């Protein structure tokens, strides 16, 4: 274990003023249709998949309240057979990957994020290795982030397997920081729902967030090792499906960054993607990212006993309907 020389997090009160990203992106994509058969089979010895009849009556909801009615008639082409176990990775391109990297901030309470350059370079080269077309942006103000995101949402992703957006920044519970202002992370993914970005409908939309979600610490617990198809021609999907959001830490908690080697989460993610990105499905891979972060890392700040020997666990939220495997192009 090395010796930690300093604590980089900043002290201060919540900084919650300023605008947040909002509003739908403009739709400019050609929406085309091609019909091909497929079936949800993993391999010849795969388990028994069968689907229930979706005959239904008397549907009700587990809430009170009257929802708003949205009369939508948007259609999108499906990139994969209806019951396929895996997302299609057979498009011309793997897809766009955007990294919003933040080292410096105009907000005076936010300290420089030393080590994030290492994260950004490592993540960029890892994603390029998986075939992504990577664009890194540094220290953007909120209006410029909005521009980048809107442009990404307006892009025609028809020839792409998927989309990825990574944010490396300071954060708080429900808040990420641009160079000059805070914003809500959910406003990032709101641009990419299937209705707003039909050329990504039915494709994985992956969000990676390296940021604190609060200032609580996880002291950990000491462990002692003990042992040891039918396809239909047309169907509807929810507009919020096919999202994968990987947070470096759980809500309310601190997220650790090494000022020399980069953040624990991005280190573990890049290592796991490099070792197993082409072999393992993404949720299995992220489970092992969680294992690496949870077991391999512990804070080392002997000069600050309160921060010393603390642990971290990432928090992965999935609305995926198929498995993601980055088979080589």
Contacts of a second copy in 22-61 (CB under 8 A)? 33-38, 40, 47-52, 54-61
Query: Which of 25, 110, 178, 269 touches a second copy (CB under 8 A)?
Result: 110
CB-count burial class (<10 Å; 0-12, 13-18, 19+) for 291: middle
**Distance from C-alpha of 314 to C-alpha of 184, rounded to nearest angstrom:** 19
* Residue 189 near a second copy by CB under 8 A: no
Mutual angle of helices 264-276 and 282-291, in 10-degree steps: 130
Site string for a second copy, 152-171 (x = CB under 8 A): -----------------xxx
CB of 185 to a second copy, least distance (A): 12
Q: Does 204 bind a second copy (CB under 8 A)?
A: no
Residue 120 sits in the site that holds a second copy (CB under 8 A): no
Where does residue 234 rank: exposed (0-12), middle (13-18), buried (19+ CB within 10 A)? exposed
Measured from the CB atom, the residue of 12 and 23 that comes closer to a second copy is: 12
Count how many residues are written for the chain: 329
How far apart CA 241 and CA 219 sit, in angstroms, is 35
93 binds a second copy (CB under 8 A): no
Q: Does 269 bind a second copy (CB under 8 A)?
A: no
Spell out, one character per residue from 280 to 309, where the chain touches a second copy: x when CB under 8 A holds, - when not. xx-xx-xxx-xxx-xxxxxxxx---xxx-x
Q: What token pair was written down for 132?
A: 């992504």
Annotation says 270 is catalytic? no
Does residue 108 bind a second copy (CB under 8 A)? no
CB of 193 to a second copy, least distance (A): 8
Q: CB under 8 Å to 180, separation ≥6 — which residues? A: 18, 105, 106, 107, 141, 142
Interface with a second copy (CB under 8 A), residue from 41, 136, 315, 325: 315
Residue 246: CB minimum distance to a second copy, A: 10
Least distance (Å) between residue 108 CB and a second copy: 11
Report in angstroms how near the CB of residue 38 gets to a second copy at its nearest.
4
Among 145, 152, 210, 269, indicate the residue that binds a second copy (CB under 8 A).
210
Per-residue b or e along 9-26, where b marks 16 or more CB atoms closer than 10 Å to that residue's CB = beeeeebeeeebbeeebe
Nearer Cβ to a second copy, position 147 or 162? Answer: 162
Tell me if residue 270 falls in helix, strand or coil: helix
Q: Which among 129, 133, 128 is positioned nearest to 160, based on CA atoms? A: 133
By CB under 8 A, the count of residues binding a second copy is 157
Closest approach, Cβ 93 to a second copy, in A, equals 16
Residues forming beta bridges with residue 208, ordered by sequence position: 166, 246
**Which of 162, 197, 212, 290 is labelled catalytic?**
212
Q: Does 279 qualify as catalytic in the annotation?
A: no
Q: How far apart are CA 199 and CA 25, in angstroms?
A: 13
Minimum Å distance from CB 209 to a second copy?
10
**Candidates 157, 170, 197, 270; catalytic one:** 170
Residue 145 binding a second copy, by CB under 8 A: no
Contacts of 218 (CB under 8 A, 6+ apart): 253, 254, 310, 311, 312, 313
4 half-sphere exposure, CB direction, 13 A CA radius: 20
Instruction: Tokens for 49, please give them.
Output: 């998949």
In the set 194, 208, 269, 273, which binds a second copy (CB under 8 A)? 194
| Active site positions, annotated | 170, 212
């Amino acid at each position: 274990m090395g010796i930690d020389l300093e604590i980089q997090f900043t002290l201060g009160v919540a900084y919650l003023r300023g605008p947040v990203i909002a509003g739908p992106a403009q739709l400019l994509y050609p929406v085309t249709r091609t019909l091909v058969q497929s079936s949800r089979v993993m391999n010849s010895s795969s388990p028994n998949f069968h689907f229930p009849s979706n005959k239904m009556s008397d549907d009700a909801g587990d809430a009170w309240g009257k929802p708003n009615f949205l009369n939508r008639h948007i259609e999108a082409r499906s990139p994969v057979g209806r019951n396929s176990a895996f997302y299609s990775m057979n498009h011309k391109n793997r897809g766009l990957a955007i990294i919003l990297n933040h080292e410096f901030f105009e907000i005076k309470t936010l300290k420089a994020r030393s080590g994030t350059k290492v994260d950004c370079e490592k993540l960029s080269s890892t994603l390029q290795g998986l075939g992504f077309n990577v664009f890194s942006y540094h220290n953007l103000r909120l209006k410029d982030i909005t521009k980048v995101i809107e442009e990404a949402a307006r892009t025609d992703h028809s020839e792409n397997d998927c989309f990825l957006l990574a944010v490396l920044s300071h954060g708080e519970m429900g808040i990420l920081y641009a160079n000059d202002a805070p914003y809500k992370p959910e406003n990032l993914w709101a641009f990419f729902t299937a209705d707003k970005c039909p050329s990504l409908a039915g494709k994985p939309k992956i969000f990676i967030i390296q940021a604190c979600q609060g200032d609580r610490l996880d002291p950990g617990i000491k462990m002692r090792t003990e042992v040891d198809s039918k396809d239909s021609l047309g169907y509807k999907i929810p507009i919020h499906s096919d999202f994968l959001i990987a947070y470096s830490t759980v809500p309310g908690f601190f997220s650790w960054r090494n000022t020399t080697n980069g953040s624990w989460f991005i280190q573990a993610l890049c290592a796991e993607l490099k070792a197993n990105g082409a072999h393992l499905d993404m949720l299995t891979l992220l489970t092992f990212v969680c294992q690496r972060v949870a077991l391999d890392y512990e804070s080392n700040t002997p000069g600050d006993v309160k921060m010393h020997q603390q642990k971290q666990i990432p928090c992965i939220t999935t609305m995926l309907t198929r498995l993601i495997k980055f088979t080589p192009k």
